[in-house]
Amino acid sequence: MNLKKSRGLLCERVELRYDFIRQEKKAYPVTVLCKVMEVSRSGFYEYFHSFNKKPDKSSGKAVLKARVGAIFKEHRSKYGSRRIAKKLKDEDYQIGRYKVRRLIKKQLTLDALAMAYWRRKPPSGLLHYSDRVSQYACHDYQKRLNQYGMVASMSRKGNC
């Protein structure tokens, strides 16, 4: 987009100028855009950060989990946490590589449990022993164990 076209926005509200800067910040430096649009850089960043506030955690997590899973499956489980995080950042998600890695690990353990359950069809009340790694102690994993009628067993400290 041509910066000369932005001159018509100078008569508009400040929010419209900030939106223009937000859309063009990948193509041009923010300082240059702020000078052209005649707004303060600090004002833009204040607006930008209020615009990028995280939504409701529960709904945001569900959407993020679904998107990470979709990208992982879309690339036939060949994309790692770095590639997925980069792809999500390109889609304007605010997420780091380690969060993506944690989500992938969690999903992997849930998938492995489901596969083991459906292949072996264990009796109800089966004692499932695991270490205290966070993937096994998480609420989703514990809920899935209860759903399958299994009893979780961990060492003393995280005795679930």
The domain ranges of the chain are 3-51, 56-121, 122-160
| Residue at 55: amino acid letter | P
Q: pLDDT band at 109, cuts 50/70/90?
A: confident
- Using one digit for the tens of pLDDT, what is the confidence trace for 52-108? 655 455 557 788 888 988 898 898 888 999 999 999 999 888 889 999 998 888 878
Whole-number Å distance between alpha carbons of 70 and 114: 18
What would you measure as the largest C-alpha separation in the chain, in angstroms?
Answer: 72
CB-CB contact of 100 with 107 (8 Å)? no
3-state secondary structure 50-76: HHCCCCCHHHHHHHHHHHHHHHHHHCC
- Cα 117 off chain centre by: 28
